[in-house]
């Protein structure tokens, strides 16, 4: 018959092996790495689409919802369609250009299994000027994958 000390030790190991949500501690770390990697891939896909002049491809990174929020400077834009139209006016209207986009200084913090906070710097180079600034994103895991639900960008 096992001793009480052995049973308590085994119970302690079980508490260490599984977190309060029932997932293993190692699984949580793996999930965190996978989530961060998937968010990086989302941002890389946005940059690639932008640099090909594919604005609709770039917009696939955003939550296609009227509840999407986009803040830039003094402007607040609500909704996926309104955000797309804002980008079209600024970067695809006559006499405008999309230029070359790059993101760096990325910091991705998972807030749970299905949400994250992302900070970074953008650099947009056009034939006339180079623009740079910072952004903060709130990203949620949706059925279609990770999507930006809020974007706050400043120059």
CB of 75 closer than 8 Å to CB of 155: no
Looking at residue 95, which CATH number applies to its domain? 3.10.450.50
Which range marks the domain in which residue 90 is found? 36-154
Q: Is 73 within a domain?
A: yes
| Distance in Å from the first CA to the final CA of the chain | 69
The tens digit of pLDDT for each residue in 46-96 reads: 999 999 999 999 999 999 999 999 999 999 999 999 999 999 999 999 999
Per the structure, the count of domains in the chain is 1
pLDDT for position 31: 79
Say how far apart CA 47 and CA 52 lie, in whole Å: 9
Instruction: Return the percentage of the chain with pLDDT > 70, whole number.
Output: 82
**17 within a domain of the structure (yes/no):** no
At 28, the pLDDT band (50, 70, 90 cuts) reads: low
Q: Which helix (H) or strand (E) holds 56?
A: helix 55-59
Determine, yes or no, domain membership for 133: yes
CA distance 46 to 128: 22
**Over the chain, what is the mean pLDDT?**
86
Q: Give the pLDDT band of residue 21 (cuts 50, 70, 90).
A: very low
Is 31 within a domain? no
Domain-embedded: residue 20? no
The C-alpha atoms of residue 68 and residue 79 are separated, in whole angstroms, by: 5
């Amino acid at each position: 018959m096992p001793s009480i000390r052995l049973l308590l030790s085994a119970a302690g190991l079980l508490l260490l092996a599984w977190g309060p949500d029932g997932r293993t501690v190692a699984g949580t770390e793996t999930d965190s790495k996978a989530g961060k990697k998937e968010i990086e891939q989302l941002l890389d896909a946005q940059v690639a689409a932008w640099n090909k002049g594919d604005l609709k491809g770039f917009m696939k990174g955003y939550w296609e919802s009227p509840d999407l929020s986009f803040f830039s400077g003094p402007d607040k834009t609500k909704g996926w369609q309104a955000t797309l139209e804002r980008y079209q006016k600024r970067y695809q209207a006559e006499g405008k250009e999309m230029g070359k986009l790059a993101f760096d200084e990325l910091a991705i913090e998972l807030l749970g299994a299905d949400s994250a906070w992302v900070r970074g710097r953008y650099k947009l180079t056009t034939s006339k000027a180079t623009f740079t600034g910072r952004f903060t994103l709130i990203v949620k895991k949706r059925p279609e994958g990770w999507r930006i639900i809020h974007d706050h960008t400043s120059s």
